[in-house]
Amino acid sequence: MPLDLFKKTSIPEQLPCEMQGIIVELKKSSDKEDCLGRAYEILSKKYRGYRVKTYTKFFDIFSKDTAKIWQKNVFLHCTNINYIMRILLIKSGYFNEDEIKIKWAFVWCISPHQYLQVKINNHWINIDIWGNTFGIKFGDYAHGFH
C-alpha cells in the first residue's frame, strides 16, 4: 500500500541522525504554532513539488523507508512530504496523531493531491508544503486551478 495514501503510516522508532537533530531543535520551540512554522520552513527549503515528476517518478510514492525518503532533496510526492512532516511534528512532542489530519483535493481539477490539517488551539490550519512551490502559502492548499 502506498505511503499515507489510504491511512496514516506508522511513525517509526528509528530515524536518520539528521532528522533526529531537527527534532531536537523543534523541541526547543516556544509553542505548537512556533513548532509548526519551523517544521514548515525546514521542509519547504528541503523539498518541493514538480508537476511532471509527480507522474514520471510515480513509483517513488510506494517508498516506506524513512531514511531513503529523508535523504532525497528537492522533489518528493505530497504524500511523502506529509509523512515526513507528521514524523517531525509528532516526535517534537508538541502534537499527537489526533491533531494531524490527512486531507485530499484535486489540483487542476484532475490530479489527486494530499495536504495536511494541523490543529492548534481548536483551529485547523492547512499545510501544503508540496504546493508551496506553486505559490500556495502557509495555511492554504493546492486545489482546482488555484
Q: What tens digit of pLDDT does each residue of 90-125 get?
A: 999 999 999 999 998 887 666 788 999 999 999 999
Q: What is the model's pLDDT at position 1?
A: 38
pTM for the model stands at 0.90
Structural domain includes residue 51? yes
Whether 4 maps to a domain, the answer reads: no
**What pLDDT, on the 0 to 100 scale, is given for residue 73?**
87
Count CB atoms within 10 A of the CB of residue 92: 21
pLDDT of 2? 44
Predicted local confidence at residue 133, as pLDDT:
84
Give me the tens of pLDDT residue by residue for the chain, a chain 146 residues long.
345 666 788 999 999 999 999 999 999 999 999 999 999 999 999 998 766 677 667 777 778 889 999 999 889 999 999 999 999 999 999 999 999 999 988 876 667 889 999 999 999 999 999 989 888 899 998 886 65
What is the separation, in whole angstroms, between the first and last Cα of the chain?
Answer: 29
Read off the C-alpha cell for 42: 525546514
Buried b (16+ CB within 10 A) or exposed e, 6-16: eeebeeeeebe
Residue 100 domain flag: yes
Helix (H), strand (E) at residue 85: helix 78-91
Cβ atoms of 104 and 113 closer than 8 Å:
yes
| CA–centroid distance for 70 within its chain | 12
Domain that residue 101 falls in: 17-132
Examine residue 10 and state whether it is found in any structural domain, yes or no: no
Domain-embedded: residue 144? no
Q: Residue 82: inside a domain, yes or no? A: yes
Contact between 110 and 72 under an 8 Å Cβ cutoff? The reply is no
The predicted pLDDT at position 9 comes to 87
CA–CA distances in Å: residue 117 to residues 8, 36, 139: 13, 11, 9
Confidence at residue 112, expressed as pLDDT on a 0 to 100 scale: 86
Pairing type for strands 74-75 and 100-107 reads unpaired
Residue with cell 512530504: 81
Report CA 34 to chain centroid distance, whole Å.
16
Query: For residue 108, what pLDDT is reported?
Result: 65
Domain count, the chain: 1
Question: Is position 137 within any domain?
Answer: no
DSSP letter for 7, please: S
